[in-house]
């Protein structure tokens, strides 16, 4: 469920017409519904209410401070993958005990900052990382809380670019090496071995891969228990998909929770009152946001009709990167006109700059507003300045009010960190080698 609805043929976010935001803010812009964000988070909370858990929103899905703050006020923790994301959750006041740090390439500076802040858990992805965290924790006179991310070699049945649980993926420790690595971790003096982490991919639309991965993880937990390694946390990651297309519905979070809890209920982990950590991102934020753009031109090519927007692949790269489908809606509906097949494209100097190919759409006209649905996750966070295009504004709606929660970037801001090579003057040695 979300709060983007038509009223008298105008598309609203909660009680605010998107046309009004466009008039005041300009286009393109991202628009987020706070009510939808909070509802989706609470659905997850209720689904896992019968089992001890911490829900850590995946910051990489949508890192806007207003989005993070809305979820934090609902009780969310956060899954981070960089020092920059740590700074974001610190900025909203999230305590370290509600933060887990994932990712394959944590730098020493990032590890030290997270140790200093007192995060709940590092999800460790290699022996080299394990040893580095142990060394840095020793230098700081601390014990680092760690879980090992295990790669269960389960096919998530999703796009190859967002699959993370197969043996060919860069993520996690191979399943057959996990026991020896846990033994190594137990010997390292500056680590507190607390958990096991498993994340197999994103935009999963079936439950079987989750269940298969959990069964493999529970077998490993039983083996570890026999060795006296008793873990407090089981981090099952995220990955549950959202409906990008009407009629193609992934499992509801309630069914997802039922499937996992059915496997966990009779486990020794449950008997020991272990706690789950979950890292949903897309399923909370995806359908809580839209990208609103204006039609610049209608172009009739020799073979195709093109609807050219003022937004491009630098603003939303998912279609170009993944061939991703996004529903496209007119901000103002008109009736009585025949739909047309068209390509919806942007102004970027790339043939891959598109939002839809051969899509049956209402007859858009120049100046019309178009909303790209399901853009609240992996939208703005993956945007860029390609073609020296300023990144767009972000807007949050709360009931009948809205606020710009990220100002539109300017070209001056893009250029501010650049400089020309210094011009040599008489007597200058600035361009000489050392």
Please, which residues have CB within 8 angstroms of residue 236's CB and are 6 or more apart in sequence?
198, 199, 210, 213, 214, 217, 260, 276, 277, 278, 279
Neighbours of 224 (CB within 10 A): 20
> Do the beta carbons of residue 231 and residue 198 sit within 8 Å?
no
pTM of the model: 0.93
Give Cα 152 distance to the centre of its chain.
Answer: 22
For residue range 362-394, what is the model confidence (pLDDT) as tens digits?
A: 999 999 999 999 999 999 999 999 999 999 999
Mean pLDDT by 10-residue block, N- to C-terminus, for the chain (434 residues)?
Answer: 93 98 98 98 96 97 98 98 98 98 96 98 96 98 96 61 45 85 96 94 85 92 94 94 77 93 93 95 96 97 95 97 94 91 97 96 96 97 98 98 98 97 74 47
Q: To the nearest 10°, the Cα dihedral for 295, 296, 301, 305?
A: 0
Tell me which of 13, 31, 56, 349 is the catalytic residue: 349
Please, which residues have CB within 8 angstroms of residue 300's CB and are 6 or more apart in sequence?
306
Which of the listed CATH numbers 3.30.70.20, 2.40.37.10, 2.70.240.10, 3.40.190.10 matches domain 4-14+20-28+287-415? 2.40.37.10
For residue range 208-250, what is the model confidence (pLDDT) as tens digits?
A: 889 998 999 999 999 999 999 999 999 999 889 888 877 667 8
Q: According to the model, what pLDDT value does residue 123 have?
A: 97
For residue range 337-356, what is the model confidence (pLDDT) as tens digits?
A: 899 999 999 999 999 999 99
Residue 349 annotated in active site: yes
Q: Which of 361, 357, 292 is nearest to 29 (CA)?
A: 292
Q: According to the model, what pLDDT value does residue 217 have?
A: 92
> Do the beta carbons of residue 189 and residue 232 sit within 8 Å?
no
Domain coordinates in residue numbering, the chain: 4-14+20-28+287-415, 34-286
Q: Cα separation of 379 and 67, whole Å?
A: 13
CATH of domain 34-286: 3.20.20.10
């Amino acid at each position: 469920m979300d709060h983007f609805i038509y009223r008298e043929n105008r598309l609203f976010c909660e009680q605010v017409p998107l046309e009004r935001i466009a008039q005041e803010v300009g286009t393109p812009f991202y628009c987020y519904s706070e009510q939808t964000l909070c509802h989706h988070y609470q659905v997850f909370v209720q689904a896992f209410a019968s089992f001890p858990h911490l829900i850590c929103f995946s910051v990489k899905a949508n890192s806007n401070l207003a989005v993070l703050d809305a979820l934090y006020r609902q009780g969310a923790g956060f899954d981070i993958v960089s020092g920059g994301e740590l700074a974001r959750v610190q900025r909203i006041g999230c305590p370290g005990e509600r933060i887990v740090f994932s990712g394959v390439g944590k730098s020493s500076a990032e590890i030290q900052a997270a140790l200093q802040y007192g995060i709940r858990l590092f999800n460790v992805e290699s022996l080299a990382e394990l040893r580095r965290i142990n060394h840095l924790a020793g230098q700081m006179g601390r014990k680092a809380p760690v879980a090992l991310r295990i790669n269960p070699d389960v096919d998530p049945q999703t796009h190859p670019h967002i699959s993370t649980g197969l043996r060919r993926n860069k993520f996690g420790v191979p399943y057959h090496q996990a026991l020896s690595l846990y033994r190594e971790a137990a010997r390292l003096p500056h680590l507190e071995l607390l958990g096991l982490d498993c994340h197999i991919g994103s935009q999963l639309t079936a439950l079987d891969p989750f269940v298969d991965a959990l069964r493999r993880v529970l077998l490993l937990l039983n083996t570890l228990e026999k060795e006296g390694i008793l873990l407090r946390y089981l981090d099952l990651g995220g990955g549950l998909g959202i409906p990008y297309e009407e009629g193609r519905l992934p499992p509801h979070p309630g069914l997802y929770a039922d499937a996992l809890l059915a496997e966990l209920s009779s486990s020794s982990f449950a008997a020991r009152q272990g706690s789950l950590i979950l890292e949903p991102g897309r399923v909370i934020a995806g359908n809580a946001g839209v990208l609103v753009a204006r039609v610049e031109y209608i172009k009739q090519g020799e073979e195709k009709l093109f609807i050219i927007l003022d937004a491009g692949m630098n603003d939303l790269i998912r279609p170009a990167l993944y061939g991703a489908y996004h529903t496209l809606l007119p901000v103002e509906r008109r009736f009585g006109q025949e739909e047309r097949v068209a390509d919806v494209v942007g102004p970027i100097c790339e043939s891959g700059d598109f939002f839809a190919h051969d899509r049956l759409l209402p007859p858009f006209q120049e100046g019309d507003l178009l909303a790209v649905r399901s853009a609240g996750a992996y939208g703005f966070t993956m945007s860029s300045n390609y073609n020296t295009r300023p990144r767009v504004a972000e807007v949050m709606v709360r009931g009948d009010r809205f606020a710009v929660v990220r100002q539109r970037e300017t070209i001056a801001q893009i250029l501010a960190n650049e400089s020309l090579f210094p011009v040599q003057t008489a007597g200058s040695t600035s361009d000489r080698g050392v």
